[in-house]
């Protein structure tokens, strides 16, 4: 059985609403070829598809109702049949990709717009050829079913169904319009139409357009009486339209449609939805009613859809969003929420293992959490040495320890495509705190034959992530919904050229960063000096700061960091103290770090600490936190 028919046998499906109604609301004219908007205004079509998908539609129609050779000839587009139909299917496919759930694509086919001979100019052969041409493209482009809708003449619909059977093996939904008296334009009853469509090979017969939910329900009841075993579709208009200011206005609201869902289903409907006048709000209310009906029957429902997932369409829709949707911080990470709330936050760094087992790192994260850490940083192959991917360790830590992570995300090893793919994956896996870095060059480590990528640097990466947060990828393609990343950037207040560092840092934060994390320092004056240089050149410092602290282990360790590790510069006082400490270097290193931490707690713009353990000694690094009060560590209310 075809997947669409299989799913339809398991549970009713919800279609979308009115494409034309939405396009008119966006500024389209009823004098233009609406199908051509798939080429001239693809963003409009995509936006509408996204809105219906977010509202909970299981089936979305392609924007191809009139994209047949006969209709297109009236506007000189008869040679664009393939282009229009193929592009329209692709627009729905792209929406399905970003929505990330199972949606069936209905290749939408309407009547030819001209009567058949002998009452009109179109012969049976011409009609069949026109339908076959359109349907073949819809099938090739990836439609999951063919939906014939708004046919008023049974003979034309029978030709269309036969054309579909001749060129593809897709399921067929054949829907007709009925007058207020429950008959077709030629006077045929619903029962007679069902029998003829079934004989022609249609898998589902239905009613759409013409009338509102109540008259459509009466037609459906007559269909159901004619064949109680058949599956039907029903997609009514939102009542009879009234012309107001040159536009049609439809009276039937979303709640009214929702009240008809249960009667539709009780009378054999398996595919429900809306036609002219129905908006994403109608479909959302029908989704709620459909799920309630299925829950009573013990049938699993699709994931709940919330109002703020609806795209911010630039058209006037009466969308009653939740009260908190005006809150710009509702989707922020816990870490960013704590920073904005004024908490002194604590992050502890964990380097991924060089093998397959991350148990030591996970235990280190667990210890850091017990000491009051708010997040765990995970480095990305630091010093250009091959290690487990940072993202995979972040996921393990979040799942096994229950603490947020900050993934160090470098541009060194990823092309522009790879960067975006990994960011999408990070959000899907729940890793949303990103430290945007350029990354150490491979020549620094042992993999000297590895080729760096560097399509962008950390400045460009910040802009890419921020663009995701706005709902677009680097190519300005819509993502279906905005990303929810918290963006961190690095700064090095120990550099000799502080003016250059301040200028580069300004470019990073101007791209959308939320906070910064510094390289390790060993004197508060180092931070204050950088702060003064920045403010002299760019004004008020723009973001909260997590100061890097790396407890020293010995004089030899201190000398190695100072002379051989890029980005780490110790003061002469720090080096001298470690020299004098001798065998007590570890205790002296912790004491120095604690002194620094206490001096920084009230320093300007400093709102946290970023601890870097040496040699995987997490307990030593976390010892530094003992200088803070329990309230400062977040272990009890301040």
Question: How is residue 276 written in tokens?
Answer: 């002219």
Are 448 and 422 within one domain? yes
Would you say residue 638 has pLDDT above 90? no
Domain boundary among 292, 326, 360: 326
Question: How is residue 482 written in tokens?
Answer: 């905005």
Are 309 and 430 within one domain? no
Closest CA to 34 of 62, 5, 6, 56: 62
Residue 301 is assigned to a structural domain of this protein: yes
Closest CA to 342 of 608, 611, 547: 608
User: Taking the alpha carbons of 269, 273, 275, 281 in that order, is the dihedral positive or negative?
Assistant: positive
Instruction: Give the pLDDT score at 69.
Output: 97
List C-alpha distances in Å: 249 to 35, 52, 57, 276, 580: 22, 20, 23, 10, 85
Would you say residue 309 has pLDDT above 60? no
CB atoms within 10 A of CB 226: 18
pLDDT in tens, 3-26: 999 999 999 999 999 999 999 888
Would you say residue 538 has pLDDT above 50? yes
State which residues form the domain around 220: 3-16+46-326
Residue 312 is assigned to a structural domain of this protein: yes
Are 394 and 319 within one domain? no
Residue 145 is assigned to a structural domain of this protein: yes
Q: How many CA atoms lie within 13 A of 13 on its CB side?
A: 26
Residue with tokens 């601890």: 611
Residue 29 is assigned to a structural domain of this protein: no
Spatial contact of 201 and 169, defined as CB atoms under 8 Å apart: no
What CATH number should be reported for the domain holding residue 433?
A: 3.20.20.220
Mean pLDDT in residue range 110-132: 95
Instruction: Give the pLDDT score at 246.
Output: 55
Task: Give the list of residues 6+ apart from residue 308 with CB closer than 8 angstroms, or none.
Answer: 321, 322, 325, 330
User: What does the DSSP 8-state code read for residue 79?
Assistant: G
Instruction: Give the pLDDT score at 319.
Output: 34
User: What does the DSSP 8-state code read for residue 68?
Assistant: S
Spatial contact of 437 and 411, defined as CB atoms under 8 Å apart: yes
Are 375 and 394 within one domain? yes
Spatial contact of 376 and 403, defined as CB atoms under 8 Å apart: yes
Instruction: Give the pLDDT score at 448.
Output: 61
Would you say residue 338 has pLDDT above 60? yes
Instruction: Give the pLDDT score at 593.
Output: 93
Collapsed DSSP state (helix, strand, coil) of residue 539: coil
Mean pLDDT in residue range 273-288: 95
Collapsed DSSP state (helix, strand, coil) of residue 410: strand
Are 200 and 240 within one domain? yes
Instruction: Give the pLDDT score at 180.
Output: 86
Instruction: Give the pLDDT score at 310.
Output: 40
Collapsed DSSP state (helix, strand, coil) of residue 239: coil
Query: Global pTM?
Result: 0.65
Degrees (nearest 5) of the Cα angle 604, 610, 612?
140
Are 305 and 340 within one domain? no
Residue 347 is assigned to a structural domain of this protein: yes
Instruction: Give the pLDDT score at 244.
Output: 54
Task: Give the list of residues 6+ apart from residue 583 with CB closer than 8 angstroms, or none.
Answer: none
CB atoms within 10 A of CB 442: 19
The number of angstroms, rounded, from the C-alpha of 630 to the middle of its chain's C-alpha atoms is 39
The number of angstroms, rounded, from the C-alpha of 185 to the middle of its chain's C-alpha atoms is 45
Are 310 and 381 within one domain? no
pLDDT in tens, 146-203: 999 999 999 999 999 999 999 999 999 999 999 988 999 888 999 999 999 999 999 9
User: What does the DSSP 8-state code read for residue 356?
Assistant: S
Helix extents (H) in 412-481: 416-428, 458-469
The number of angstroms, rounded, from the C-alpha of 620 to the middle of its chain's C-alpha atoms is 41
Are 304 and 363 within one domain? no
Instruction: Give the pLDDT score at 461.
Output: 95
Are 459 and 591 within one domain? yes
Residue 161 is assigned to a structural domain of this protein: yes
Are 322 and 338 within one domain? no
Domain boundary among 302, 326, 350: 326
CB atoms within 10 A of CB 549: 21
Distance CA 209, CA 61 (A): 14
Instruction: Give the pLDDT score at 318.
Output: 36
Residue 28 is assigned to a structural domain of this protein: no
Are 319 and 349 within one domain? no
pLDDT in tens, 67-88: 999 999 999 999 999 999 999 9
Instruction: Give the pLDDT score at 248.
Output: 60
Distance CA 306, CA 385 (A): 44
Domain boundary among 271, 292, 326: 326
Instruction: Give the pLDDT score at 403.
Output: 96
Would you say residue 371 has pLDDT above 50? yes
In this prediction, residue 373 has a pLDDT band, given cuts at 50, 70 and 90, of very high
Residue 394 is assigned to a structural domain of this protein: yes
Long-range contacts, 599-603 (Cβ 8 Å, 24+): 599/524, 600/524, 600/527, 600/547, 601/344, 601/628, 601/632, 603/524, 603/527, 603/528, 603/547
Instruction: Give the pLDDT score at 25.
Output: 87
Instruction: Give the pLDDT score at 447.
Output: 61
Spatial contact of 521 and 493, defined as CB atoms under 8 Å apart: yes
Would you say residue 325 has pLDDT above 80? no
What CATH number should be reported for the domain holding residue 87?
A: 3.20.20.330
Task: Give the list of residues 6+ apart from residue 497 with CB closer than 8 angstroms, or none.
Answer: none
Instruction: Give the pLDDT score at 303.
Output: 54
Distance CA 119, CA 116 (A): 6
The domain tally of the chain equals 2
Would you say residue 316 has pLDDT above 60? no
CB atoms within 10 A of CB 31: 5
Task: Give the burial class of 263: count Cβ atoms within 10 A of its Cβ; 0-12 exposed, 13-18 middle, 19 or more buried.
Answer: middle
Instruction: Give the pLDDT score at 344.
Output: 92
Distance CA 545, CA 63 (A): 50
As a residue count, the chain comes to 638
Are 518 and 383 within one domain? yes
Which residues face 606 on adjacent strands? 545
Helix/strand number for the chain, H first, E second: 24, 18
Q: Sort strands 486-491 and 433-437 into parallel, antiparallel or unpaired.
A: parallel
């Amino acid at each position: 059985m075809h997947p669409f028919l299989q799913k339809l046998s398991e549970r009713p499906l919800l279609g979308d609403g009115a494409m034309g109604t939405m396009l008119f609301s966006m500024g389209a004219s009823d004098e233009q070829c609406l199908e051509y908007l798939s080429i001239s205004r693809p963003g409009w079509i995509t936006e509408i598809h996204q809105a219906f998908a977010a509202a909970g539609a299981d089936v979305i129609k392609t924007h191809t109702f009139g994209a047949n050779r006969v209709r297109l000839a009236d506007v000189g587009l008869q040679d664009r049949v393939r282009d229009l139909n193929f592009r329209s299917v692709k627009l729905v496919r792209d929406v399905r990709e970003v929505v990330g759930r199972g949606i069936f694509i209905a290749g939408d086919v309407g009547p030819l717009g001209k009567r058949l001979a002998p009452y009109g100019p179109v012969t049976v052969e011409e009609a069949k050829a026109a339908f076959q041409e359109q349907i073949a493209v819809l099938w090739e482009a990836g439609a999951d079913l063919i939906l014939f809708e708004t046919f008023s003449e049974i003979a034309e619909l029978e030709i269309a169904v036969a054309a579909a059977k001749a060129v593809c093996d897709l399921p067929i939904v054949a829907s007709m319009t009925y007058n207020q008296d429950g008959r077709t334009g030629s006077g045929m009853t619903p029962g007679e139409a069902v029998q003829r469509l079934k004989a022609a090979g249609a898998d589902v017969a239905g009613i759409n357009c013409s009338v509102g939910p109540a008259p459509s329900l009466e037609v459906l009841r007559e269909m159901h009486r004619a064949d109680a075993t058949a599956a039907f579709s029903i997609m009514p208009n939102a009542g009879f339209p009234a012309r107001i200011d040159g536009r049609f206005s439809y009276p039937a609201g979303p709640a009214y449609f929702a009240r008809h869902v249960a009667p539709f289903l009780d009378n054999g409907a398996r595919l429900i939805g809306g036609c002219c006048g129905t908006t994403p709000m109608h479909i959302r209310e029908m989704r709620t009613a459909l799920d309630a009906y299925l829950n009573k029957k013990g049938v699993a429902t699709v994931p709940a859809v919330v109002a703020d997932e609806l795209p911010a369409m630039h058209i006037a829709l009466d969308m009653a969003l939740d009260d908190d949707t005006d809150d710009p911080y509702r989707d922020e990470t816990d870490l960013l929420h704590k920073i904005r709330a004024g908490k002194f936050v604590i992050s502890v760094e964990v380097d991924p293992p060089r093998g397959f087992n991350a148990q030591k790192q996970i235990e280190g994260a667990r210890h850091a959490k017990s000491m009051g850490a708010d997040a765990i940083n995970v480095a990305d192959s630091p010093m250009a040495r091959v290690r487990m991917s940072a993202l995979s360790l972040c996921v393990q830590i979040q799942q096994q320890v229950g603490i947020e992570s900050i993934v160090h995300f470098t541009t060194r090893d990823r092309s522009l495509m790879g960067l975006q793919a990994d960011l999408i994956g990070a959000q899907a896996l729940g890793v949303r705190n990103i430290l945007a870095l350029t990354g150490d060059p491979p020549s620094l480590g042992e993999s000297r034959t590895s080729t760096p990528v560097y399509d962008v640097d950390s400045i460009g990466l910040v802009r890419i992530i921020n663009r995701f947060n706005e709902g677009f990828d680097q190519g300005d393609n819509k993502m279906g919904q905005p990303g929810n990343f918290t963006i961190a950037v690095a700064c090095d207040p120990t550099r000799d050229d502080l003016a250059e560092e301040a200028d580069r840092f300004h470019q990073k934060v101007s791209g959308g960063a939320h906070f910064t994390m510094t390289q390790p320092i060993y004197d508060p004056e180092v931070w204050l000096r950088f702060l003064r240089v920045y403010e002299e050149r760019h004004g008020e410092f723009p973001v909260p700061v997590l100061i890097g602290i790396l407890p020293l282990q010995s004089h030899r360790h201190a000398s190695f960091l100072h002379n051989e590790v890029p980005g780490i510069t110790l003061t002469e006082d720090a080096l001298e103290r470690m020299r004098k400490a001798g065998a007590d270097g570890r205790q002296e290193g912790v004491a120095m770090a604690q002194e620094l931490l206490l001096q920084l707690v009230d320093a300007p713009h400093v709102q946290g600490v970023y601890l870097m353990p040496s040699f995987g000694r997490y307990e030593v690094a976390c010892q530094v936190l003992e200088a803070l009060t329990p309230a400062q560590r977040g272990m009890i209310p301040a």
